[in-house]
Amino acid sequence: MQSPSFQKENIFFMLGHFSTDLAHGSLPVILAYMYQAGHITSYSQIALLLMANTFINALVQPLAGSLSDAKPRPYLMSIGILLSFLGVMFIGVVHNELLLYCLVCVNGLGSAIFHPAGGKMANIFGKAKLGKNMSIFSVGGNAGMAIGPFYFTGLYLIFSLNATLLMCIPGIIMIIIFLYKNRYYYVMAKREQDLVKNAQKNNVEQEDRRGFLLLLLLLFLRSSGWFSLTAFLSLYYMHSFGVQDEIASIINGVVFIFGTLATFLGGTISDLFGFRKLIVVSSIASLPFIFIFVLSHNPILSTMGLIPFAFLFFTAMSPCVVLGQKFLCHHVGMSTGFTIGLSMSFGGMIAPLLGKVGDSYGIENIMYIVCALICFASLSTLLLPKTKESQSNCEDK
């Protein structure tokens, strides 16, 4: 059974993830308000800024993961949070384009540094119920991404673009907590590193790199489909069904609420059901619902397909992260950097390409491509190997 103190630490890691992604998730809406204020002059500039952020995020996360694996560095969580909110804190008050790009990249750098370090610590403190505790960690990120736009908008109504200066508040609180606990985290991380070195020396635990590459393929397909779906979901409802933009935004929010709930439940269930098994079952079970969503010509029926699809899709999210950590037993930080970082960012780079498809052939064709990507992703789960039962850290049910 997991000790209460370990459970408390995992709540802190979740809140650290929340504060990081609160800043990261608020970036698109901040840029939108900057466009309205005339600080940004075109949609293409917004797209390039977000692309720069995504590129830095994707490039650095695996490197940051390797850094956190090399030796215990729990302070990287604090550095990541600091850079994440610094990257958005001043963009509302700058008027220099080069400085704007630098700040956006700093935000991406902070997010990239935090995720591998935070995911590794969540793994160390959550081994008793790894699925549940990694889902708690993931829920922090989901909640931060979802609440970030609302948090900034509330501040914007009072302080206008100067509200970006207040984006630091949650992050400062978590940095104080993490620095206070840094010595404790270092001791625990060093103990885990010694166990890993002994396992490598005695050849107890073997990594499955082929399995990890297959998991990355799955995650690339999943993120490409999901990012493209959410990027154009509101426009799809407005243009294909004539739904008002407020209603379309509410549907988008409801989808993320169900996704957050499914992320937590998926991790909890996977501890009992098995990580690989839950990924396969939930992914295959989601297929009928994505077809209902895409092929329906009625907004109500389409939504009735979308919500259970989103729930089943997110059910597999935490088990995918845990399975990656099990495949790369000796490089948990790097694994987290790839599974949460590089693969997720890949979807952010695919979505703009599908936007060109929508411009040329209509937004309905974007959803057909999304459906195809989800189908390929679901079928690719069948290729995932089981982890070896002999590996204590890589055990699967």
CA distance 230 to 385: 30
- In this structure, which amino acid lies at residue 356? K
Res 231 pLDDT > 80: no
Region 306-317: mean pLDDT is 93
Q: Which has the closest alpha carbon to 128: 15, 262, 268, 273?
A: 268
- List helix spans (H) across the chain: 4-36, 43-70, 76-89, 97-125, 130-159, 169-180, 182-201, 209-241, 245-273, 275-295, 299-315, 317-327, 332-336, 343-361, 363-380
Quote the crossing angle between the two packed helices 299-315 and 245-273, to the nearest 10°: 30
pLDDT of residue 180: 95
CB 220 within 8 A of CB 342: no
- DSSP, collapsed to helix, strand or coil, labels residue 37 as coil
pLDDT of residue 200: 63
- DSSP, collapsed to helix, strand or coil, labels residue 39 as coil
pLDDT of residue 397: 43
Res 343 pLDDT > 70: no
pLDDT of residue 396: 43
Q: Does 127 or 228 have the greater pLDDT score?
A: 228
Please report which confidence band the pLDDT of residue 372 belongs to, taking 50, 70 and 90 as the band edges. very high
Region 332-342: mean pLDDT is 77
pTM for this entry: 0.79
pLDDT of residue 49: 85
Quote the crossing angle between the two packed helices 299-315 and 209-241, to the nearest 10°: 160
Percent of the chain at pLDDT > 90 equals 38
CA 37, 43, 44 angle in degrees (round to 5)? 130
Most confident of the ranges 67-71, 170-174, 234-238: 170-174
Res 36 pLDDT > 90: no
Could you report the per-residue pLDDT of 15-26, keeping only the tens digit for each?
A: 999 999 999 888
CB 258 within 8 A of CB 311: yes
pLDDT of residue 370: 93
Region 256-275: mean pLDDT is 85
Region 215-237: mean pLDDT is 86
Spell out the domains of the chain, with CATH numbers in brackets: 4-201 (1.20.1250.20), 209-383 (1.20.1250.20)
Please count the CA atoms within 13 angstroms of the CA of 270 that sit on its side-chain side: 35
pLDDT of residue 68: 81
Res 108 pLDDT > 70: yes
Out of 118-127, 137-146, 246-255, 321-330, which region has the weakest mean confidence (pLDDT)? 246-255
Res 205 pLDDT > 80: no
Res 393 pLDDT > 50: no
Please give the mean pLDDT across all residues of the chain. Answer: 85
- First-to-last CA distance in the chain? 18
Please report which confidence band the pLDDT of residue 4 belongs to, taking 50, 70 and 90 as the band edges. low
